[in-house]
Structure 1
Amino acid sequence: MNAIETHALSKLYAPGVGLSPLTLSVEVGEVFGFIGPNGAGKTTTIRTLMGFLRPTAGSGRILGRDVWYEREAVHTRVGYLPGEVHLSRDDSARDLMRRSCQLRGGASDAYGLEVARRLELRLDAPLGTLSKGNRQKIGLTLALMHRPELLILDEPTDGLDPLAQETVLDLLREAAHEGRTVFLSSHVLSEIERVAGRVGLIRRGKLIRLEEVRALRASLPQQVAVRFARPPSVNLAALSGMVGGGMTGDGMAGGVAGGLDFRGLWRGGPDALIHALAGESLLALSLTPSSLEDAFLEEYRTAGETSAAPLREAEDVA
């Protein structure tokens, strides 16, 4: 049994608006990254999986339970963080934790207190007096505190300072180490890259790519930067492994006087590049692996995405 299983699951508000038929499996114990720009359909997908939106077609199951017809059973086994945390302004974190334990039949709040401590959360301050970041910490604490089998988190580090962001990533790694599953939606690609084993890329409500993070990064070209001490005799742009780049000259965008800098993208092992540079006089050379963000941007460029505005409108409908 997978933690999440969907078959042609969709939620459409109008033609081309919403979640197109989605077929996806997320294994138990996996950290799965769900990425896309604002408005791509991430939140609609999550709200449909949680049973807050009735599917237009298809089916979805979480831990063996139907996401719509058995949504109450699903909720007892899932820790959920929405994209925007809306809680009573008069309650404190301690009040909400106590209420959550009562709703779960007197469950312990021991782990919730540990999470709150690690996030440096003020437990007794009314929510109305707290910053967005501290309200986000409360939402995270409530999602994590009962050690659920599955965590579904929508932009979990939104509004957090860098130290708190790192703490959240540590907590997610620990959850996976314990055999629990994490479905992590975010547009902060560096975070996804650090904790997820696989990623799914969604655009305009459609899943357009599904791949292991390691394999995705290995398939990307490396970024090349060379600074020559004097004009080179080799034409790096003509090398078969160079998939983009060129010399920069005086007056060109990003250029350096004398045309001694080269930037490009190199695919494959570095031997041919090093051999081509062996007879040149260099001041600097770097080969930098591409990141998940590079893959994300390249996927959107390939598809001809030029603006995120229509995507936001689609998400606003949700």
Structure 2
Amino acid sequence: MSPETSMGAQSTDGESMVRLAGLTKRFGRNAALDDVSLTIGPGEVFGYLGPNGAGKTTTIRLLVGMLRPSAGTAAVLGLDAWRQSRDVHRLVGYVPGEPALYDRLTGNQHVAYCSHLRHRDDRKRAAEVAVRLDLDLDRPARTLSRGNRQKLAVVLAVMSRPRLLVLDEPTSGIDPLVQQVFHSILREHTADGGSALFSSHVLGEVERVADRIGVVRGGKLVAVERLQDLAARSLHRVRARFTDGVSAAEFAGVPGVRDLQVDGRTLSCNAPQAALDALLKLVSAREVEDFECSEAPLEEMFLSYYGIDQQPGHTSAAETESVSGTAVGHAG
């Protein structure tokens, strides 16, 4: 049973916006992605998390028809991402992690070019988004900072009001105030019935906007969680200092206790709310000098549950391939 089936997949009325079924991509003997299945419903932001090199970008390139799967399928509103890529591109706005822009063209010229490819005039919408992001569309791309290049990629992705936004580290290099504006734009997109796949290696970034989060490690989808369900299982940091020495064995039997450490007279651990009563009874059976209990941040709790390495990991061949193009969604 896949994580999508066993960990609370969101059921939707009608057709799913995104459906990955057994999606697999191999490069020689290396499985960059292995049997990934998930769905994303209308109006949903799905946060796609994992350490660098885990398979996030490979998933995205398969979803937008830039790679052919070795097995399984990726579909957007029932359209096969590889066999019907032209039709899929009309439905998708794509922000790659490293936008590929035309250095000599201004932002306005990029907008005009992408509008031409889509056979529609999106200049008004592009100008509105650019103002909100504090982006000057009259400057050539070669003069833009990394953050402003990322803003331009966002403008090009959202200006056509696509049904699906595919976002690969979209706020990289963008300052926190502008990130808040981007999150507002994303919420407006989903309020209108659009959906988004938001890839990141930082849970705190997607926590503010995602409805569900999935974790990929070593090319496998290892967890799918609703944010509200994860918060309900919140961990508490517990630290106690006793007058006499204690042993870890005294507290190891409490169900749900994690990261238990005992150093002489000091105990520290993480415990779910359901375990606090049993843990406190054991603590209170000893003479206590000091005691602390506080709710752990959601990101720390998530990493504790699934053992996600916060440090950049080994980058697979699939992840190191450059992602070309700024905004997918033209007629092809």
Aligned counterparts of 2:149 and 2:89: Cα–Cα separation in 1: 21
Q: CA deviation digits over 1:51-85, x for unaligned, max 9?
A: 11112222221012110111111111111111210
Q: What residue number does 2:269 align with?
A: 264
Q: What residue number does 1:129 align with?
A: 143
For residue 18 of structure 1, what is the amino acid of its counterpart? A
Aligned counterparts of 1:306 and 1:115: Cα–Cα separation in 2: 33
For residue 78 of structure 2, what is the amino acid of its counterpart? G
Contact 1:3–1:181 (CA under 8 A) maintained in structure 2: yes
Q: What residue number does 2:326 align with?
A: none
Q: CA deviation at 1:314?
A: 4.9
Query: Is 1:292 aligned to residue 304 of structure 2?
Result: no
Q: What secondary structure is seen at the aligned counterpart in 1 of 2:314?
A: helix
Aligned counterparts of 1:6 and 1:125: Cα–Cα separation in 2: 39
Aligned counterparts of 1:248 and 1:120: Cα–Cα separation in 2: 52
Higher relative contact order (CA 8 A, sep 6+): 2
Q: CA deviation digits over 1:11-69, x for unaligned, max 9?
A: 21122332222222111111101111111111111111111111222222101211011
Change (3 A) 1:294 1:243: closer
1:153-192 equivalences in 2 (<5 Å) = 153-192=167-206
Structure 1 unaligned spans of 5+: 250-258
Of all paired residues, the percent bearing the same amino acid is: 37
Query: Is 1:28 aligned to residue 42 of structure 2?
Result: yes
For residue 98 of structure 2, what is the amino acid of its counterpart? E
Aligned counterparts of 2:233 and 2:50: Cα–Cα separation in 1: 19
- Is the deviation greater in 264-273 or in 166-175? 264-273
Q: What residue number does 1:218 align with?
A: 232
Q: What residue number does 2:123 align with?
A: 109
Aligned counterparts of 1:45 and 1:87: Cα–Cα separation in 2: 22
Q: CA deviation at 1:8?
A: 1.5
Query: Is 1:206 aligned to residue 206 of structure 2?
Result: no
Q: CA deviation digits over 1:129-172, x for unaligned, max 9?
A: 11101100000111111211110011101111111222212221
Contact 2:246–2:262 (CA under 8 A) maintained in structure 1: no
Q: What secondary structure is seen at the aligned counterpart in 2 of 1:88?
A: coil
Aligned counterparts of 2:277 and 2:209: Cα–Cα separation in 1: 31
Aligned counterparts of 2:140 and 2:300: Cα–Cα separation in 1: 38
* Equivalent position to 2:314, from 302, 310, 315: 310
Aligned-residue RMSD, C-alpha: 2.7
For residue 245 of structure 1, what is the amino acid of its counterpart? L
Aligned counterparts of 1:314 and 1:75: Cα–Cα separation in 2: 21
Aligned counterparts of 1:46 and 1:224: Cα–Cα separation in 2: 39
**Alignment length (residue pairs):** 303
Structure 2 unaligned spans of 5+: 1-14, 323-332
Contact 1:109–1:146 (CA under 8 A) maintained in structure 2: no
